[in-house]
């Protein structure tokens, strides 16, 4: 994953609905969920969900596969790990980890 792809993934997931979709798919595991189930769980209307999933597919944050008449989506965990590694290496290199205040 090159730097531009990591930046695209980062900007794509920086949206409340797309983050919720990714969180739901990550929790579903590698089998993923059909679009209708994602819509029902999150209360996102199908047209909006389709828009968000299209952006997430373009950013390689999710993958899709057809099973009969359904399209199942899965979180691309390698992609998000790449984004986390990118942020760690690019922004936090040499910084000591600071514990949050209690």
pTM: 0.86
**Is residue 36 situated within a structural domain?**
yes
**Is residue 101 situated within a structural domain?**
no
**Is residue 43 situated within a structural domain?**
yes
Distance CA 95, CA 67 (A): 46
**Is residue 22 situated within a structural domain?**
yes
Task: Return the pLDDT at 101.
Answer: 65
Distance CA 62, CA 102 (A): 36
What is the average pLDDT value for the chain, to the nearest integer? 91
**Angle at Cα 69 formed by Cα 63 and Cα 73, nearest 5°?**
20
Whole domain around residue 67: which residue ranges?
Answer: 3-89
**Is residue 19 situated within a structural domain?**
yes
Task: Return the pLDDT at 100.
Answer: 60
**Is residue 94 situated within a structural domain?**
no
Task: Return the pLDDT at 33.
Answer: 97
Tally of structural domains, the chain: 1
**Is residue 72 situated within a structural domain?**
yes
Task: Return the pLDDT at 91.
Answer: 81
Task: Return the pLDDT at 99.
Answer: 62
Three-state SS string over the chain comes to CCHHHHHHHHHHHCCHHHHHHHHHHHHHCCCCEEHHHHHHHHCCCHHHHHHHHHHHHHCCCEEEEEECCEEEEEECHHHHHHHHHHHHHHHCCCCCCCCCCC
For position 67, which CATH number holds? 1.10.10.10
Give the pLDDT of the chain (102 residues) as one tens digit per residue: 788 998 999 999 999 999 999 999 999 999 999 999 999 999 999 999 999 999 999 999 999 999 999 999 999 999 889 888 888 888 877 666 666 666
């Amino acid at each position: 994953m090159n730097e531009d792809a990591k930046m695209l993934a980062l900007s794509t997931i920086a949206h409340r609905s797309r983050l919720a979709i990714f969180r739901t798919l990550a929790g579903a595991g590698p089998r993923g969920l059909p679009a209708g189930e994602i819509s029902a769980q999150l209360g996102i209307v199908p047209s909006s969900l389709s828009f968000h999933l299209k952006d997430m597919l373009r950013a390689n944050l999710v993958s899709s596969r057809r099973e009969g008449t359904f399209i199942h989506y899965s979180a691309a965990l390698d992609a998000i790990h790449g984004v986390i590694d990118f942020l760690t290496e690019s922004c936090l290199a040499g910084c000591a980890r600071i514990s949050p205040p209690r």
